Amino acid sequence: MRATDVDDAHGRGSANIEGSPVVCGPAAPTASSAAVLGPLRFDAVRLADGGQLGAWQALNRAATIDHCVAHLESSGNLDNVRRLVGASTEDYRGYWFADSDVYKVLEAIGWETGRAGDAGWDGFVSATVWLLRSAQESDGYLNSWMQGLHPERRWAALEHSHELYCLGHLVQAAVAMSRAAGRDDLLTVARDFADLAVRELGEGGIEAIDGHPEVETALVELYRHTGERAYLALAARMVELRGRGLLPHGRFGAQYLQDHAPVREVTEAIGHAVRQLYLAAGVTDVYLETGDETLLASMEALWRSVYEEKTYITGAHGSRHRDEAFGDPYELPPDRAYAETCAAVASFMWNWRLLLATGHGRYAEEMERALYNAIAASTALDGRHFFYSNPLHLRAGHDGSNEDAPSERLSWYGCSCCPPNLARLMASLHHYVATGDEHGIQLHLLTAGRVAAGPATLDVATDYPWDGRVEIAVEGPAAEWELALRIPAWCARATVTIDGQAQDAAVDDRGYVRLRRAWGGSSRVVLELDMPVRVIAAHPRVDAVRGCGALARGPLVYCVEQADHGDVAVEDLRLDPDDPPQPGEADAALGVPVTLVGKAAVDGSSPGALYGDYAGPVPVSDVAPLKAIPYFRWANRGPNPMRVWIPMR
Ligand SMILES: [Zn+2]
């Protein structure tokens, strides 16, 4: 394969042409960007419905998107906009950023329509775009809360108002609609609002940033999509203005608003987790388009803080319910984990941008960890119930109903940022599987499906993440190029054959096996990843889980749930690290091909005195069967206690 053939497969390079037939995905660096890897065309990858990622994408199409559309109606998000044009007499309902949920749902529909066609959403989209256009001020301003309730306060309370946050989501929806669904009516609405922001907040205008970052990454994408550099300039200006004390910090403080320090001086993830991670995505986007290495350096330092000290084993972030915040280093309590779904989605997006920027597999590794655990766990089997907070331990008697941490997934929330965020990610999930560069094709997420990049086609057959065998049928004309396969860091031993011939499967310093050869005709690549059950321990400073082990197999973190343990309280189970449970039978009702089964010791303690003199380790009273299921399938059998971290005997 010639380099140009691979380039042809990219969305990048064509992203600046409005109405271009080349379909790009959610983040499409320009041809002149600093990206070392390029996304493939949005239609280059098809996930197999029978694979786990394909199944999630199909469920999103069949259930989640329509569920979200229905709730935009019943929760008042659409009526809030209708009020502005006299089409609703309802009072404003929901939070001041309720518009953002409308935009996230439109974004999901945009990607999904581009992926697999309209599923009856066209009328809703047309009506909603018409409504937004009708409600938009003549100068481009659009925000139902501000226009409806505080028209005199435009840009005057940005620490709180989310006006630019909502603009950001409008822009992302418009880009999705334009790129993938082929309609530019929403883009007109978004550009008019973005142009107003450029005029009033750009160079020479008001110095302003939003208390909730999001618009930065969106403006960079709008630049990529339209070629209009003013959007990139505004994004870069907002990155530069952060941490300069422009916002009144109020009772939440500067960290909550991500205004505590200039971006380049930040070395620790702190404050509101979603805001921190959206900001990081935006900063990385600005780096990608400007090549400002100081921004990349700051992002790499921030990444080390996040992943070396502040990430749950599920890939979730945010250990404090208060202010939805990152905690101190190693402050990762499993029961009090806030672990908001949106934070995991945001980190997935940030890691994708760092992957494009550096080509390093550690970023794809974190995408995969978040995807199969924190993100997947947030949605119920029916695709219509969701967690906002994703704890790693639910105690018997838990009541979190007053803090967005219920014992079961809910169909919607008062602040329902998470479900539409899931919908837009799932609709574009296939886009994150592979990339291309001048060397060839890189497979980052191993999953069943087809990748068509340039003249080569990869048909990937695998039961991953349940099984470590991955068969790839490579078809294409004779050409020399490189197929790079990411080897997950949890895999201690991988073998590769091509047409039955063993290959050098050495993993390079970026985490990939690179198969460079003269391909041609049909070749069969077989990758075998050892996938034993692992008992994982946390760094000793994570006091909350000291002495505990977590079960994992492949990219999946497992948990024990009360529903599988009868009268033996899961909180009394103790794991024998020398005899961990092993792959066992499927649980069809949960859609789990591989459970883990074995035995556990049972604590001899009983309820009673909370404290007493130390008398050595708690004795074991019994041995009981242990069954572990993937964490992402917990809480699909009614509310019941669960734990990821299990005390070790
Ligand atoms: Zn959320």
Query: pLDDT by residue (tens digit) across 322-339?
Result: 999 999 999 999 999 999
Distance CA 44, CA 566 (A): 47
Count of C-beta atoms within a 10 Å radius of residue 322: 9
* pLDDT for the residue 177: 98
Two tokens at 137? 């001020």
Report the DSSP beta bridge partners of residue 435.
39, 442
Mean pLDDT along residues 15-43: 78
Mean pLDDT of all residues in 575-596:
96
Q: Position of tokens 């082990």?
A: 549
Q: What gap in Å lies between CA 280 and CA 300, rounded to an integer?
A: 10
CB 335 within 8 A of CB 395: yes
Q: For residue 339, how far is its CA from the centre of ligand 1 (angstroms)?
A: 10
159 a catalytic residue: no
Q: Is the per-residue pLDDT at 283 higher than 70?
A: yes
Q: Which of 68, 417, 418, 548 is catalytic?
A: 417
What single-letter DSSP state applies at residue 97? T
What average pLDDT does the segment 226-240 reach? Answer: 98
Q: Kindly tell me the sign of the dihedral angle through the C-alpha atoms of 74, 78, 83, 85.
A: negative
CA–CA dist 645, 257 (Å, integer): 32
Largest Cα span, the chain: 75
CB atoms under 10 Å from CB of 503, counted, come to: 16
- Asked if residue 323 lies in contact with residue 286, where contact means CB atoms within 8 angstroms, the answer is no
Ligand 1 centroid vs 322 CA: distance in angstroms?
15
Q: How far is the CA of 608 from the centre of ligand 1 (A)?
A: 39
Burial class (CB in 10 A: 0-12, 13-18, 19+), 518: exposed
Between vectors from CA 73 to CA 72 and to CA 77, what angle results, nearest 5°? 55
Dump pLDDT digits (tens) for 363-405: 999 999 999 999 999 999 999 999 999 999 999 999 887 877 8
Distance 195 CA to ligand 1 centre (A): 28
Catalytic residue among 309, 324, 340, 365: 324
pLDDT in tens, 483-538: 999 999 999 999 999 999 999 999 999 999 999 999 999 999 999 999 999 999 99
Over residues 80-96, the pLDDT tens digits come to 999 999 999 999 999 99
- Residues 482 and 515: their CA atoms lie apart, in Å, by 5
Cα dist. 312→371, 412, 559 in Å? 13, 25, 14
Q: For residue 295, which of 268, 263, 262 has the smallest C-alpha distance?
A: 263
Rounded Cα distance, 620 and 618, in Å: 7
Tell me what pLDDT residue 604 has: 83
Give the integer Cα–Cα distance in Å for 470 and 462. 5
**What's the CA-to-centroid distance between 603 and ligand 1, angstroms?**
37
Judge whether residue 452 has pLDDT over 60. Answer: yes
Of 486, 223, 193, nearest to 362 by C-alpha is: 486
Please count the other Cβ atoms lying within 10 Å of the Cβ belonging to residue 319: 23
pLDDT at position 53 over 70: yes
Q: For residue 604, how far is its CA from the centre of ligand 1 (angstroms)?
A: 40
Residue 3's pLDDT is 32
**Is 185 strand, coil or helix?**
helix
Q: What is the pLDDT of residue 9?
A: 41
- Helices then strands, counting H and E runs in the chain, come out as 19, 20
Provide the mean pLDDT of the chain: 94
* Cα 433 to ligand 1 centroid, rounded to whole Å: 24
Q: Would you place residue 218 in the very low, low, confident or very high pLDDT band (cuts 50, 70, 90)?
A: very high
At 20 the pLDDT is: 39
How many angstroms separate the alpha carbon of residue 417 from the centre of ligand 1? 4
**pLDDT over 60 (residue 2):** no
Rounded to an integer, the average pLDDT of 308-314 is 98
Measured distance between the N- and C-terminal CA atoms of the chain, rounded to whole angstroms = 55
Statement: residue 289 has pLDDT above 80? yes
123: number of Cβ within 10 Å: 9
622: its two tokens: 């019994």
* 2 Cβ contact partners less than 8 Å away, ≥ 6 residues apart: 479
Q: How many Å lie between the centroid of ligand 1 and the Cα of residue 420?
A: 9
- 418 is an active site residue: no
Percent of the chain, pLDDT > 70?
96
Q: At what angle do helices 418-427 and 341-358 cross, to 10 degrees?
A: 40
Q: Give yes or no for residue 8 having a pLDDT over 50.
A: no
Distance between CA atoms of 413 and 99, rounded to whole angstroms?
Answer: 15
| pLDDT value for 21 | 39
Q: How far is the CA of 207 from the centre of ligand 1 (A)?
A: 28
Distance 415 CA to ligand 1 centre (A): 8
Distance from the alpha carbon of residue 237 to the mean position of ligand 1, in angstroms: 26
Let me know the angle formed at the C-alpha of 396 by 393 and 402, rounded to the nearest 5 degrees: 75
What's the pLDDT at 22? 52
| pLDDT over 90 percentage in the chain | 91
